[in-house]
A and B are shown apart, each in its own frame.
Chain A
Amino acid sequence: MSSPLSLFVPEPEVRPGGVPDFTNVHIAPAGEVGRPPVDIDPSEIRDMAFSIIRVLNRDGEAAGPWAGLLSDEQLIEGLHHMMLLRALDARMIIAQRQGKTSFYIQHLGEEAVSTAFRKVLKKGDMNFPTYRQAGLLIAEDYPLEAMINQIYANSEDPLKGRQLPTLYSVREQGFFTLSGNLATQFPQAVGWAMASAIKGETNIAAGWIGDGSTAESDFHAALVFASTFKAPVVLNVVNNQWAISTFQGIARGGVGTFAARGLGYGIPSLRVDGNDYLAVHAVGLWAAERARRNLGPTLIEYVTYRAGAHSTSDDPSAYRPKEESAAWPLGDPVIRLKAHLIAKGVWSESRHVQLEAEMLDTVIAAQKAAEANGTMHSDNRPSARDMFEGVYAEMPPHLRRQRQESGV
């Protein structure tokens, strides 16, 4: 006799109306996880997929073997970048409400991940990002005005109005053209890295994906190619706990952590505190070093929290408690780096307030400059002619005919 089966459908522990409780989330103290040599046998560090590498402790001190890689100047620069990204996001969300753009995606709470990782790459390396890694551009001092031109789809939009706002493409900054279709970039990153190896070059690639998108087949395809060909690639999973309204448990299933997905492929898989600028940088550097030394791929899970809405089309209060963000145990990346710099005696509350104002001014100035080129619904925007260009290297006759018919 067997009893009837029943279906298991995971649910987050709290929904709106409930009290967020993260006490069951095990967070290893800063400095606890060791730093193995980059050429270690992956089978010896399988436990790293279940722990969490952290550098900054509660008192703002840097602790353990992953600390000490960045100078004070570099850390202050990192703070700059995170705050600039945050200021840009805040202004662009307002701009969207004002009708200057149709859509925006922000990074609130996740600023450390992309800004710190960018610093481990070199010129010629290539990122295959998602829409939530604009920090890769900010940390390379890509002009804000160019980003806003794209967001506004104005006459100076480098992508000529063809792409949804924030889906940038900046080859010379190592930023691959963004797709709206999730996960497609992950195997592409592996392929770019394989080409680098085939050609005997020294450049590496970095793939990016969200927690939810790891459910796509493309994620697994990327891992098998990376594993088989030992591609010089860093495979970054940004676990911000949410995929629109869907909590990370739906994509993670029974595996425990996203990092653990890499173990079945024999890929060294590390889990890191994504709200810790120093830890993100240190782990990224370790993985980049492995790739550069032809030791193959590394999978990194960044544990962070999407503190804002998914996009300007989303209202998270419909599916998670408003208080959840504040209760998140890994804190805020800007506040944590600020506390660290103050603890080191190289920063102060007043300098921080001043920098905040400066970052806002910088964004406003770029915004003004971009607005002179038009906004979403103004007259100076990309032309209908631009719509027909660039489908092919050379416009075929049928498209030429259609363009003529359209009268542009």
Chain B
Amino acid sequence: MHDFTKTLAPSPFYDRIVAQSQTQNWAHWNGYQTPRVVDTVASEYFAVRSSCSVMDLTPMEKYRITGPDAKAFLNRLVVRDVSKLKPGRVTYVVWCNDEGKVIDDGTVFHLSEGVYRLCAQHHQLDWLRLSSIGFDVSIELETHDVAALSVQGPTSYSVLTEAGISGLETVKPFDIVHTQLDGFDITVSRTGFTGDLGYELWTEPENALALWDAIFEVKKRGLYDIRLIGLDALEMVRIEAGFIMPGWDFNTAETVIRDGYDRTPYELDLGWLVNLNKPYFTGKRALAAANKQPLKRKMVKLILDGNKVPSGSFIFDRKDGKNIGAVMAHSWSPILKRAIAYADIELINGQVPKEVSVEIYYQKELAWKLHWARAEVTDKPFWTPKRRSITPPDAY
């Protein structure tokens, strides 16, 4: 339990993070003081894509789910069939309210037989508790009791191996292993929010600094560059990777005020997660009904022409045509050298358009200008390197 009289809580890695911060540029994430930028966004971005990045994941919302009905409870909670998720495996999930509108997304970790961890974007204790009525299950908020680091980038495998974590060569994407480092227990999962090769490391808060030091010792030894990164760089890589952020990219159900401003998984291009053949889950009837109706709108990925980023842009079917939506997230992608975006758009005659026009306002010498950019609609993640999925990973 952290001290709630303090506005922002320090994570167990706080001392090391503050020491490395060149900018003292902070954000708050789930009640924790979290770096927005540690040094420069560019160097942090390239740490993820070209070498090795470290990020403090402790603030991420985490729940431990146990008890005889843990599996049944989770399977009734989420739209995906998680009943066959084996111990030692992780899967991406979303969950909906009764109306089939997405409440949040996250990952289910089957830590060991019958013991699960659910990671969520937002605080979910209330929703989990009310969803547990009728199930013999225990739900514990463990956000503050687990110290977590995300180590991502092409050299992450080599860095962690050098740091003394053995056995990673057989760890496949979405695998979990329980191992030891310098005499304390850590759990390693091959997961992340970057779309790159990477791992997440979980341990008791008292081991946090030892874990950190073991990793950065590799840098001290001059073997690999390792950089602490902040939320701004993460935002760039997660968009490249095709991950969405509930609450930022779309309104989450149960927080939205007006009817029609929340979204089904189908509208978020997450229809592939919905399993209408598994036993009943919250929102199933609504989703079965929605699935029979033609889709009216969809979250789409855009690759833009030109070098302007579409900040807050409206989307049109063609230049000066019909306004069909707006950009919800955007970034310049250094690795693709393209401007990329997610846009929430209405379908045109029931079809996702192949291309759209984006109305971009930008500043030149502080003067505002308008630019129309053609954008291609793509249904694949913007960036999926092979190294992300091969096992054993290449030892760069």
Instruction: Say whether A and B bind each other.
Output: no
